[in-house]
Amino acid sequence: MPRCICACQIEAERRRKEADAQRERMERIKRRKAQGLQDRYLYDYTFANDSGENPLIEKARAYVERWSEAFRDNTGLLLFGDVGTGKSFFAGCIANALLERDVPVLMTNFPSILNRLTGVFSEDRADFIASLELYDLLIIDDLGVERSTEYAMEQMFYVIDSRYRSRKPMIITTNLRLEEIKNPPDLAHARIYDRILEHCAPILFAGKNFREENAAATRTAAKQIVSPEERSLAEYEH
């Protein structure tokens, strides 16, 4: 005769399966972060760590909340503006939030990509570029800092063009002005920038330099660490 399974056993089995599924999901997210956030400091670029000083961060939250639409329509972002205005933090917040939702994201930069491609056979080069298509979102930080050699421009084009053909979104950050991107100096830059502009909506970062502010705070903290007697004297005098 078949063994009778009571309701409590069924419930216990359901909970066990849910716990197993959650554990597997967390392990998968952990692996995705290890692959997608290749610099440790990027782990700190989260909405939870936002100071609230940059109102543009709400656009990052909106992008995450409407990610299914952005992915469906291949809608990316072009974050441009001066150094230290929060572009990388903005992009990192999106990356971390989507990774927490189990979305494959890679945040990298062209110097790192070029380092991977230098000195490898053409077949391996093609395989690496194709591997970038495995990520639902590709974030390329600091476009324009790489050297504009003929080889570098060619590899940049292959990466951007491959992404363009895959119809998956990109987020690009750059210190270049929008006028420079819309009016490239030559054909090599033009064929890269045209593909970026077609699917990446530009957002201007024109606020204060947060890195400069953070650097000042770091200097103050360092002074308190290495010169504690000065701090003690100042406290005594007050």
pLDDT in tens, 146-192: 777 888 899 999 999 999 999 999 999 999 999 999 999 999 999 99
Ordered by start, the domain boundaries in the chain are 23-207, 209-238
Burial 174-205 (b: 16+ CB within 10 A, else e): bbbeeeebeeeeeebbeebbebbeebbebbeb
| CATH number corresponding to 23-207 | 3.40.50.300
pLDDT in tens, 78-132: 999 999 899 999 999 999 999 999 999 999 999 999 988 887 787 888 899 999 9
207 touches 90 (CB < 8 A) = no
